[in-house]
Amino acid sequence: MITVNMHEAKTQLSKLVARAVEGESFIIAKAGKPLVKVTALEAPAEPRRFGFLAGQIAVPEDFDRMGEDEIALLFGTTPVENEE
């Protein structure tokens, strides 16, 4: 693993990050004293997809009105009448 001084890290940051992405971690030092280790993040191989539970769960038609009476009582208001 290479060690670079702060000045070199500032001037060569893009190249150093590219090397880290390729798997070559490095250390940034100041006055010869190691400060931080830079290494690539391990991201998931593929992004999470939306809708992966499609067909496996059902959302009730009144989902947006569920519990409205209890919520209205908590806030001291009158429940809204169904507009169907």
**Do the domain assignments include residue 22?**
yes
Tell me how many domains the chain contains. 1
* 3-class DSSP state of 26: strand
**Do the domain assignments include residue 57?**
no
pLDDT tens per residue across span 67-84: 898 998 999 887 766 555
Res 63 pLDDT > 70: yes
**Do the domain assignments include residue 72?**
no
The number of C-alpha atoms within 13 Å of 64 and in the hemisphere containing its C-beta is: 3
Q: Is the pTM of this model over 0.75?
A: no
Provide φ and ψ at 61, rounded to 5°: -60, -35
pLDDT tens per residue across span 8-52: 999 999 999 999 999 999 999 999 999 999 999 887 777 777 888
**Do the domain assignments include residue 15?**
yes
Burial class of residue 9 (count of CB atoms within 10 Å of its CB; 0-12, 13-18, 19+): buried
**Do the domain assignments include residue 74?**
no
**Do the domain assignments include residue 32?**
yes
**Do the domain assignments include residue 14?**
yes
**Parent domain of 12:** 2-38
**Do the domain assignments include residue 73?**
no
